[in-house]
Amino acid sequence: MPTARRRVLVVADQTAQSPELIAAVADRAAAGPCAFTLLVPARAHGLHRLIDPEDQGTEEAETRLQAALGPLSEAAGAPVNGIVGSHEPFAAIQDALNLTGFDEVIISMLPARISRWLHLDLPRKVRALGVPVTEVMRHEAELETAAPTH
């Protein structure tokens, strides 16, 4: 009996094209049949975080998403789907899990000292939704410049 194809949600922003995430996707694809979807949360800047965060940051997220789909698809050995989500990463993940359904989540983050997502305890919160989570951390030595946004 063939193994069922697992649906894997990959969540990333600034690390969407990182070597660590590409390697994690390749490793997961090698472990068994799966279909990947990359979720990039929108990012509101400045006062837009308070005033109208849902209306901001989607263009930047879409650009980042499109740039990452090629390398991730190559690593996966199949096309990776992509979606831009809410500016709030946990809400974006909840929406994806509730609307589309995924069997597991890979969360790609900046190094611990500057990762907003890690400071928000995002991986633990997603695990509490009952889905397995793999954390991928960008190596600090490989960062050129990164703002503490996730």
Give the model's pLDDT for residue 43: 82
Structure-block tokens of residue 53: 């965060």
User: Which DSSP letter does residue 88 get?
Assistant: S
How far does Cα 145 stand from its chain's mean position? Answer: 19
Provide φ and ψ at 140, rounded to 5°. Answer: -60, -35
State how far the Cα of 138 lies from the Cα of 96, in Å rounded to an integer. 23
DSSP conformation letters of 51-93: H-GGGSSHHHHHHHHHHHHHHHHHHHTSPPEEEEE-SSHHHHH
Contact present, 110 and 146 (Cβ < 8 Å) = yes
Contact present, 102 and 37 (Cβ < 8 Å) = yes
Give the model's pLDDT for residue 141: 59
Q: What is the pLDDT of residues 3-48, one digit of tens each?
A: 689 999 999 999 999 999 999 999 999 999 999 999 999 986 544 4
Give the model's pLDDT for residue 35: 97
Mean pLDDT value across residues 109-138: 94
Q: What is the pLDDT of residues 39-85, one digit of tens each?
A: 999 986 544 445 554 555 688 999 999 999 999 999 999 999 999 99
- Model confidence at 145: pLDDT above 50: no
